[in-house]
């Protein structure tokens, strides 16, 4: 019986993954928006794909590299940790927050210069200051990429200047952005329009914060070889998406169009509520029924017009005693005949055995 249950569970999980794959193909085909990006993806907060275009094609990613730089730096520091800027970290080509040798900045000040001004010098200062060398820091970036399952990503430096072997994909960057936005420190900094550090003002390069309704963060990037790269996150009425475009000459407009279409067609629906209540008849108990409820809410990204089908697996009755917290069954949610998710049902109250007849 146990082996059969494992086989059934594996079949359900496979069908869930396959269903997400089919949804992505279908959603991409249904998108009416034409975009100019060489690679692109729109991903829901649960990791499901809403739209894609060459999303697994490895490319140069320019300063969107700094998403991983920021994540690794945040995990290795506290906001007020002092970091001394070494001479080799200054004068890096490209965008800069104009650090000077010997000055001391906090970790979060360097992160603000990294994510708002896209400072290549900030990337170097964080790398050397936190790990002792750029090489050690980049090794940690690649270790983190592997841990997140970013299969087509490799980092050679912390700033994103073109380098042989330095690459990622739209899909990997979307996964990375979802992870970054779960970090409160990162989310707070990337949402800032501007900041002032030691009387220097830095403006966020991400124009979507003002141009796109609900945009709550993102990272820009550009080199001549990589083209314009943009990773962003948008949330409206509790529904969140991330969007990635690589080598896209019209990235601002493309992100706005992709988000508008995604929010118009999809929603993060509460499929199962933990507030729902089920009553299961009890035999030989002090009470006639044992109340049960889902152990958690279940939300699914679905099309707004889509109907869900529910399978409630509950016993016809149970014998007393019943203990609160014990498994009572499960709810399986189907989309298009395929399993999309499930939630365990648990008893919410104790039911003692009846003393009558003893």
Q: How far apart are CA 268 and CA 203, in angstroms?
A: 32
**DSSP letter string, 233-266:** EEEETTEEEEEEEES-TTHHHHHHHHHHHHHHHE
What distance, in Å, lies between the first and last C-alpha atoms of the chain?
A: 35
Per-residue CA distances from 48 to 26, 67, 191, 358 (Å):
12, 20, 24, 56
Verify whether residue 257 is a known catalytic residue. no
| Number of residues in the chain | 358
Residues 56 and 171 sit within 8 Å (Cβ to Cβ) = yes
In the set 77, 118, 127, 168, the catalytic residue is 118
Beta 266-272 vs 318-319: how paired, if at all? unpaired
Verify whether residue 356 is a known catalytic residue. no
Please give the structure tokens belonging to residue 260: 């508008």
Verify whether residue 66 is a known catalytic residue. yes
Whether the upstream peptide bond of residue 321 has omega within 30° of 0, thus cis, is yes
In the set 39, 48, 66, 232, the catalytic residue is 66
Of 259, 261, 321, 258, residue with least CA distance to 286:
321
In the set 39, 48, 63, 232, the catalytic residue is 63
Query: Which active-site residues does the annotation give?
Result: 63, 66, 118
């Amino acid at each position: 019986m146990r082996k059969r249950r494992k086989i059934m569970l594996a079949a359900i999980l496979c069908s869930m993954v396959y269903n997400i794959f089919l949804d992505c193909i279908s959603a991409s085909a249904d998108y009416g928006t034409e975009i100019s990006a060489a690679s692109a993806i729109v991903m829901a907060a649960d990791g499901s794909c809403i739209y894609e275009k060459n999303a697994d094609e490895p490319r140069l990613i320019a300063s969107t590299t700094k998403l991983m730089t920021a994540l690794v730096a945040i995990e290795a520091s506290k906001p007020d940790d002092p970091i001394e800027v070494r001479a080799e970290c200054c004068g890096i080509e490209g965008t800069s927050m104009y650090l000077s040798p010997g000055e001391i900045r906090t970790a979060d000040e360097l992160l603000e210069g990294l994510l708002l001004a896209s400072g290549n010098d900030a990337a170097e200062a964080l790398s050397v200051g936190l790990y002792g060398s750029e090489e050690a820091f980049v090794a940690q970036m690649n270790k983190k990429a592997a841990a997140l399952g970013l299969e087509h990503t490799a980092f050679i430096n912390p700033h994103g200047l073109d380098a042989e072997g330095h690459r990622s994909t739209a899909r990997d960057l979307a996964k990375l952005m979802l992870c970054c936005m779960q970090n409160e420190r990162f989310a707070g900094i990337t949402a800032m329009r501007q900041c002032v550090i030691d009387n220097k003002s830095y403006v966020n390069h991400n124009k979507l914060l003002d141009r796109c309704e609900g945009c709550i963060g993102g990272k820009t990037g550009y080199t001549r070889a990589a083209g314009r790269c943009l990773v962003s996150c948008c949330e409206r009425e509790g529904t969140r998406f991330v969007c990635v475009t690589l080598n896209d000459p019209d990235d601002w407009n493309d992100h706005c169009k992709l988000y508008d279409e995604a929010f118009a067609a999809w929603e993060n629906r509460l499929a199962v509520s933990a507030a729902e209540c089920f009553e299961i008849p009890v035999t030989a108990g002090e009470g006639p029924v044992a109340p049960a409820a889902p152990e958690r809410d279940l939300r699914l990204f679905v099309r707004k017009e889509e109907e869900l089908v529910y399978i409630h697996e509950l016993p016809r009755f149970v014998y007393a005693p019943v203990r609160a917290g014990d498994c009572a069954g499960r709810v399986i949610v189907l989309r298009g005949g395929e399993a999309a998710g499930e939630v365990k049902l648990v008893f919410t109250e104790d039911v003692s055995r009846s003393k009558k007849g003893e």
